[in-house]
Amino acid sequence: MNPVAETSTMETIQTTRSLTLVQAVTDALGTMLAEDDRVMLLGEDIGKNGGVFRATEGLQEKFGEDRVIDTPLSEAGIVGSSVGLAVNGMIPIVEIQFLGFVYPAYEQIATHVTRVRMRTMSKYTVPMVIRAPYGAGVRAPEIHSDSPESLFTHMPGIKVVCPSSPADAKGLLIAAIKDPDPVLFMEPMRLYRAVREEVPEGMYEVEIGKGKKVTEGDDVTVITWGAMVPVAKKAVEKAKAKGIQCDFIDMRTLFPLDRDIIAESVQKTGRVVVVHESHETTGVGNDILSIINKTSFLYMKAPIEKVTGFDVPVPFFALEDEYLPTPKRVEEAIEKVYTF
């Protein structure tokens, strides 16, 4: 739970500050802009306006208009030109205003961001980060609330990261920026200002590809990430009150998934609930099933339960609470696997 413990570069860390998740993002961006002149921020309204969620607040003023760039309204242009920037020595960090608006850039991501290294046998690489708020639950206008991680976990060549806490957000974002390969960094919009946490100052990394045990328990493994962490947590607490002890995992990285943390937990409990916000079909939840099938078949005591967004488009906000997993649905699932 203590991010400092996971830090690879410790020397600069002395103090902490209480930050929200979005402030932690800003902190990470500022840290890396200061650290490495090749880092550039590109996006719509990220300069003067500081981003529609204020994730880049103050950064243009501090680092200048050639480092923090207000771009035209053009996702394919932003990502496509960032490919050119990257192969020619820069480290572009792209903000997509809402992850559901990344689709116009999907072509650039699926055939270029992810394939330049392969096509050139590592002569050219794309150390790019695409960050974006994602998810429902804030009464945003329609089509602002998608959670399309599956489209990226499926396309080889990009890592997918999704923090749920301020300290993780900063450490994972720094790790993503330092990563030599492209990373999609999903920021749970709903948690931007929902929690505060002590976040170490200065430079530190949280390792990509490692999940985090939130609570320990022997009865049921509960796996989730991002905005669903607090939702599942409520259910885990309720279950505890009823005597069911959950091993509760925040995945943090969606590709590559942390197979070891899953297998270790599942082999202990034999009962699993996976919770995610995106649609069930071809969701990342099924990748977790696949890992369990491979690693822990003989340990399973009950069919795995999934609590996910339904196989319907994310609805208008009047129905979004019905679309989203709720603590109640998670709790029911925990009981179901427990009593199987």
Ligand X SMILES: Cc1ncc(C[n+]2csc(CCOP(=O)(O)OP(=O)(O)O)c2C)c(N)n1
Question: Looking at the annotation, which residues are catalytic?
Answer: 144
**Residue 8 near which of a copy of itself, ligand X, other proteins, none (CB within 5-8 Å, type-dependent):** none
Using CB under 8 A, which residues numbered 184 to 223 contact other proteins?
209
Letters for 14-53 (x = contact with other proteins by CB under 8 A, - = none) are --------------------------x---xx-xxxx-x-
Cβ-proximal residue to ligand X, closest one: 101
Among 43, 50, 51, 100, binds a copy of itself (CB under 8 A): 100
Using CB under 8 A, which residues numbered 196 to 255 contact a copy of itself?
255
Among 3, 20, 25, 44, binds ligand X (CB under 6 A): 44
Burial letters 306-334, b for 16+ CB under 10 A, else e: bbbbeeeebbebeebeebbbebebbbebb
Provide CB contacts within 8 A for 250, sequence distance 6+: 164, 165, 168, 211, 212, 214, 224, 225, 229
Question: Rounded CA gap, 254 and 159, in Å?
Answer: 8
Judged by beta carbon, residue 62 or residue 119, the one nearer other proteins is 119
Using CB under 6 A, which residues numbered 65 to 104 contact ligand X?
73, 75, 97, 101, 104
Which two tokens mark 329? Answer: 């649905």
Torsion of CA 276, 226, 50, 71, to 10 degrees: -50
In angstroms, what is the minimal distance from the CB of 84 to ligand X? Answer: 18
Torsion of CA 329, 334, 339, 340, to 10 degrees: 90
**Please, what's the largest Cα pairwise distance for the chain?**
59
In angstroms, what is the minimal distance from the CB of 79 to other proteins? Answer: 8
Judged by beta carbon, residue 8 or residue 281, the one nearer a copy of itself is 281
In angstroms, what is the minimal distance from the CB of 302 to a copy of itself? Answer: 7
Contact 138, 314 (CB under 8 A): no
DSSP state of 300: -
Among 1, 10, 312, 340, binds other proteins (CB under 8 A): 312
Question: Rounded CA gap, 24 and 17, in Å?
Answer: 9
Interface residues with ligand X (CB under 6 A) are 44, 73, 75, 97, 101, 104
